[in-house]
Structure 1
Amino acid sequence: MTKLSVNINKIATLRNARGHNRPDLLQAARDCERFGAQGITVHPRPDERHIRYQDVRDLKAVVTTELNVEGNPTPDFLDLVREVRPEQVTLVPDAPDAITSNAGWDTVKHQIFLIGVVQELKALGCRVSIFLDPNPEMVKAAVATGTDRIELYTEDYARLYPTDPAAALAPYRAAAILAQQLGLGLNAGHDLDLDNLAYLKQNLPGLEEVSIGHALVCDALYLGLENTIQLYRRQLA
């Protein structure tokens, strides 16, 4: 079964717009789980423009499914992870000023750095996933880092899906098959929505988890959060 982890960054963005606690981020996380989310994902960034570091600490105490903390393993981020020890850490090589994640790791160039980070995180009891483009060389090199999983960056898939689903999926399917052969677990995320999710799920072997935030929160404005989470779960059935 492919699990749905709901990324609540956009809920934090809405809260931060007014400087108070509306919507209540912790209650939103509880509600997402109550409505069927099988995990909660957050991606704190250095400027704390959405998820704040304190949010991560607070969420660890209330999330009952699985907390997935994404981010670039800077010293501050690693200090936070050492303190919180989430169930999963997803390493993402985004720049501090990036609007959103826009590329996977070069696991050849940064292999030695990633080996050290992965070893430490696994020693803390965290499952580790590395954010990757669907590039066979990057998948192969990820094995040497010791990571448990990779997360395929699906922006290209989402962009190409409306015109040619098969072509859009092809490099991701090849990467997924290779990951299985190499013993890597498989996650996916970025720009997945109610239109393209089922096709990805049906054709990507070994897909264990997707993390979805922006599209899901946008859909919830019209459909309601409970209904929206259930609709996304059905795409993964």
Structure 2
Amino acid sequence: MTETIRLGVNIDHVATLRNARGGVHPDPLTVAKAAVAAGADGITIHLREDRRHIRDEDAERIRAWNGAPVNLEMAATDEMTEIACRLKPHAVCIVPEKREEITTEGGLDVVRHRATLTLIIARLNAAGIRVSLFIDPEPAQVRASAEVGAAVVELHTGAYAHDKPGELEHLAAAARLTAELGLECHAGHGLTFANVGPVAALKQVRELNIGHYLIGEALLTGLPAAIREMRRLMLQARVR
């Protein structure tokens, strides 16, 4: 039997559009509800330190709605850990964060930040929050993720999305190692209708988190249609 694969929809850039003009429209919570109605299995939001898109009140409202699992992306800081422990989302994904970057660039260096991450993950686990680490598909980073107490790794697919030679093989090897170490494997970053199939076909990958592309496609076809097509392509790749 082929195991299913979930789609998490990142709605950060709904907030980006709202913030460009101010006011309350488009409302991230309303879009989160529409995404789930269209077939999204969960909602991802990134509460950045500079609050450039999702804001604290967005995170609070979406968590209070509780209409789908919420995956809170965050930096490994005391402030964000305290917020996560208060909100208690279904899951937290710890990501690297730089103030000057446009979007998340590269994976978290778990090897280098092992001590800090061990403490933060322990706090989050104690609050009943499942922890994922957003990492590059490198064996050392996968092993370190298991050692610091993460339950999940999300493999950074950016290099694959930019057609770096051999990157699909790296993703496949990292996905196998993740499963061997008893961690759940997710993936995301830069995935589109054109390139999602080979990643979705990796049997160890249980969830894909996709945002910017779906919001962009929604301008052309509507969000429900974009989500349905992404799910169709994911499931089609899964049963091959």
**Band of TM-score, shorter chain:** over 0.9
Q: Distance in 1 between matches of 2:50 and 2:75?
A: 13
Deviation readout 1:86-108 (Å, 9 max, x if unpaired)? 00000001123321111212222
Counterpart Cα distance in 2 of 1:122 and 1:52: 24
Supply the distance in 2 between the matched residues of 1:63 and 1:10 (Cα, whole angstroms): 20
1:178-213 deviations in Å (ceiling 9; x for gaps): 1111111101111011111111111x2311111111
Question: What secondary structure does 1:46 align onto?
Answer: coil
C-alpha distance in 2 between matches for 1:98 and 1:104: 13
Distance 2:111 2:46 in 1: 24
Q: For 1:217-236, list aligned pairs within 5 A.
A: 217-236=215-234
CA distance in 2, matches of 1:27, 1:97: 29
Match of 1:125 in 2: 128
State which of 61, 73, 77 in structure 1 corresponds to 2:76.
73
Paired with 1:15 and 1:52, the residues of 2 have a C-alpha distance of: 11
Structure 1: gaps spanning 5 or more residues: none
Of 103, 109, 123, which residue of structure 2 is paired with 1:100?
103
User: What amino acid is aligned across from residue 77 of structure 2 in structure 1?
Assistant: T
Query: Whole-Å Cα distance in 2 between the matches of residues 172 and 199 of structure 1?
Result: 10
In the other structure, the counterpart of 2:17 is 14
Please tell me whether residue 210 in structure 1 is matched to residue 213 in structure 2: no
Question: Partner residue of 1:150?
Answer: 153
1:76 alignment partner, SS class: helix
> Please, which moves more after superposition, 56-65 or 124-133?
56-65
List 4+ stretches of structure 1 deviating above 2 A. Answer: none
Give 1:52's aligned residue. Answer: 55
| 1:32 Cα deviation after fit | 0.7
Normalised by the length of structure 2, the TM-score is 0.93
For the residues of structure 1 that align with 2:208 and 2:228, how far apart are their CA atoms?
Answer: 14
Letter of the structure 2 residue corresponding to residue 206 of structure 1: Q
| Cα drift, residue 168 of structure 1 | 2.9
Q: Does structure 1 retain, via aligned residues, the 8 Å contact 2:197–2:233?
A: yes
Say how many residue pairs are matched: 232
Shift of the alpha carbon at 1:17?
1.2
**Alignment check: 8 A CA contact 1:29 1:63 kept:** no
Which ranges in structure 2 are unaligned for 5 or more consecutive residues?
A: 236-240
Structure 1 residue 83 corresponds to structure 2 residue 86: yes
Deviations 1:53-112 (A, max 9, x none): 111011101141200000112122112101100000000011233211112122222111
Cα distance in 1 between the residues matched to 2:24 and 2:50: 18
Which of 40, 43, 46 is the aligned partner of 1:43?
46
Contact kept in structure 1, 2:5 and 2:206, CA below 8 Å: yes
Aligned-residue offset at 1:12: 0.4
Distance 1:125 1:172 in 2: 29
What secondary structure, in the 3-state scheme, does the structure 2 residue paired with 1:17 have?
helix
Q: Give me the identity figure in percent.
A: 38
The Cα offsets for residues 107-129 of structure 1, whole Å up to 9 and x where unpaired, read as: 22211111111111111111100
Paired AA for residue 227 in structure 2: I
TM-score by length of 1: 0.95
What is the one-letter code of the residue matched to 2:228?
Answer: Q
Shift of 1:236: 1.7
Distance across 1 between alignment mates of 2:78 and 2:177: 32
Counterpart CA distance in 2 for 1:63 and 1:7 is 16
